[in-house]
Each structure stands twice: as C-alpha cells, then as structure tokens.
C-alpha cells in the first residue's frame, strides 16, 4: 500500500522532546508496557540533546506531520573491535503502518551504521510480536537464539553496587 505525499526522515532536535515522549508512551501502550514508561521529559531531553548524548533520535514525517521515530545508540563489539549500532526503539503510528515507513527508517539507520563503519546493527523484538519478527526476517535480519538478555533495573543495580565481593 503506497501512501500519498512525501516521507522525510530528519534528526530529532531538542524541540521534539515532547513529541518523542508522546511517541514513547504510544509505543509502550502497543507493547503492553505502559507501566514501565516513565519518560520524564527533562531526563529525555538531557539524554538525547545534552552535552554528552546517550542516544540519538530520528523522526519520520509524512506530509510534514510526524508519524514515526527511532532511537539508537552506538555500542561496541570486542570480537569485532569496532562499534555497532543498536536500535533501542522504532515506532510507526498504527494508522500509518503498511506504507513502508518502518523499512525506510531501517534503511536510514543502516546507512548511519555503514557510514560509521559499524560491524553490527542490532535490536530486540518482543517474542509475541509476530508481525515485526516476520518483517525483520524479510529484511534479512537473523534472530540470535543463542543469546539470552539479562537485565538489572535500578534497584538491582543498587543492590549489586553495594554488595560485598
């Protein structure tokens, strides 16, 4: 299905902080994780646009209206001895899906990875999100079944930080 009008991808700017916050809340709702989406705008602004950004964001606009976003950061592979691009989140508004905007965002990010000589371009997807899994496989992405993701959240970080040997 083709969308009429134009689709443009641009870097997010500080003035987009509220928009990004709204998109993040919409994504959290879709992923059934609204209870985890805190997103203080001041912290989001500092993390993306402060003196030392932790991540970067791009906005997709259709007919000059924001309809999608992606947030990514650079990580490092010790085995490859080079950095990689990690896609933290990608979101297209539900009514705008099926127009190829998600693929265009991924192509844009692949170019960023290529231009930064990244050895990998990775992301995670929820196990139940079959439409996304199928889409990523069609692009040639391969699931990494041999790896299990572990996570410490803030309370776990604190407990470990103060623990004895």
- Pairing mode, strands 7-11 and 65-77: unpaired
Using an 8 Å Cβ cutoff, are 108 and 75 in contact? no
Q: How far apart are CA 43 and CA 150, in angstroms?
A: 24
Helix (H, G, I), strand (E, B) or coil at 98: coil
Quick one: 19 exposed, middle or buried, by C-beta within 10 A (0-12, 13-18, 19+)? middle
Using an 8 Å Cβ cutoff, are 96 and 62 in contact? yes
Catalytic residue among 30, 56, 91, 136: 136
Q: Assess whether 30 carries a catalytic annotation.
A: no
Residue 57 parent element (H or E): strand 56-62
Q: Is the dihedral of CA 30, 140, 149, 78 positive or negative?
A: negative
Residues with catalytic annotation?
136
């Amino acid at each position: 299905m083709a969308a009429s009008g134009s689709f443009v991808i641009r870097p997010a700017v500080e003035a987009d902080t509220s928009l990004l916050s709204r998109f993040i809340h919409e994504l959290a709702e879709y992923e059934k994780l609204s209870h985890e989406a805190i997103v203080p705008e001041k912290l989001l602004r500092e993390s993306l646009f402060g003196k030392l950004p932790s991540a970067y964001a791009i906005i997709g606009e259709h007919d000059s209206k924001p309809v999608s976003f992606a947030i990514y950061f650079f990580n490092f592979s010790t085995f490859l001895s080079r950095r990689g691009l990690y896609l933290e989140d990608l979101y297209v508004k539900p009514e705008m899906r099926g127009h190829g905007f998600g693929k265009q965002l991924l192509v844009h990010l692949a170019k960023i990875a290529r231009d930064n000589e990244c050895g990998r371009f990775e992301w995670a997807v929820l196990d139940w999100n079959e439409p996304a899994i199928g889409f990523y496989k069609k692009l040639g992405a391969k699931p990494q079944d041999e790896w299990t993701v572990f996570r410490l959240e803030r309370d776990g970080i604190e407990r470990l930080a103060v623990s004895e040997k």
